[in-house]
Amino acid sequence: LANINLFWCRTRVLTTQVVKLDLTLMYILELFFLAKSKMRKKKEKTEEKRDHIDSS
Protein backbone atom coordinates (compact mmCIF):
# COMPACT_ATOMS: atom_id res chain seq x y z
CA LEU A 1 0.00 0.00 0.00
CA ALA A 2 2.86 2.36 0.86
CA ASN A 3 4.37 1.78 -2.58
CA ILE A 4 1.09 2.66 -4.27
CA ASN A 5 0.85 5.87 -2.26
CA LEU A 6 4.41 6.80 -3.16
CA PHE A 7 3.74 6.09 -6.82
CA TRP A 8 0.56 8.14 -6.68
CA CYS A 9 2.37 11.08 -5.06
CA ARG A 10 5.09 10.95 -7.68
CA THR A 11 2.65 10.86 -10.58
CA ARG A 12 0.68 13.72 -9.05
CA VAL A 13 3.82 15.82 -8.68
CA LEU A 14 4.82 14.98 -12.24
CA THR A 15 1.43 15.91 -13.64
CA THR A 16 1.38 19.24 -11.80
CA GLN A 17 4.87 19.98 -13.11
CA VAL A 18 3.79 19.10 -16.64
CA VAL A 19 0.72 21.31 -16.33
CA LYS A 20 2.86 24.18 -15.04
CA LEU A 21 5.27 23.71 -17.93
CA ASP A 22 2.36 23.58 -20.37
CA LEU A 23 0.93 26.83 -19.00
CA THR A 24 4.33 28.49 -19.16
CA LEU A 25 4.78 27.41 -22.77
CA MET A 26 1.31 28.69 -23.65
CA TYR A 27 2.09 31.99 -21.94
CA ILE A 28 5.36 32.34 -23.84
CA LEU A 29 3.64 31.53 -27.14
CA GLU A 30 0.93 34.07 -26.38
CA LEU A 31 3.55 36.74 -25.73
CA PHE A 32 5.40 35.75 -28.89
CA PHE A 33 2.27 36.07 -31.05
CA LEU A 34 1.36 39.39 -29.42
CA ALA A 35 4.82 40.76 -30.17
CA LYS A 36 4.59 39.46 -33.73
CA SER A 37 1.24 41.12 -34.39
CA LYS A 38 2.50 44.38 -32.88
CA MET A 39 5.52 44.30 -35.17
CA ARG A 40 3.25 43.64 -38.16
CA LYS A 41 1.06 46.62 -37.25
CA LYS A 42 4.13 48.84 -36.93
CA LYS A 43 5.35 47.68 -40.35
CA GLU A 44 1.96 48.42 -41.91
CA LYS A 45 1.97 51.90 -40.38
CA THR A 46 5.44 52.71 -41.70
CA GLU A 47 4.48 51.39 -45.16
CA GLU A 48 1.38 53.61 -45.13
CA LYS A 49 3.54 56.62 -44.29
CA ARG A 50 5.91 55.71 -47.12
CA ASP A 51 2.97 55.47 -49.54
CA HIS A 52 1.78 58.93 -48.50
CA ILE A 53 5.24 60.36 -49.11
CA ASP A 54 5.44 58.67 -52.52
CA SER A 55 2.02 59.93 -53.62
CA SER A 56 2.71 63.53 -52.59
DSSP letter, residue 1 = -
Higher per-residue confidence, 27 vs 2: 27
Distance CA 43, CA 34 (A): 14
Higher per-residue confidence, 21 vs 56: 21
Work out the percent of the chain whose per-residue pLDDT is above 90. 48
| Over residues 25-47, mean pLDDT | 91
SS3 at position 48: helix
Distance CA 22, CA 14 (A): 12
Distance CA 28, CA 22 (A): 10
| Over residues 20-49, mean pLDDT | 90
Distance CA 23, CA 33 (A): 15
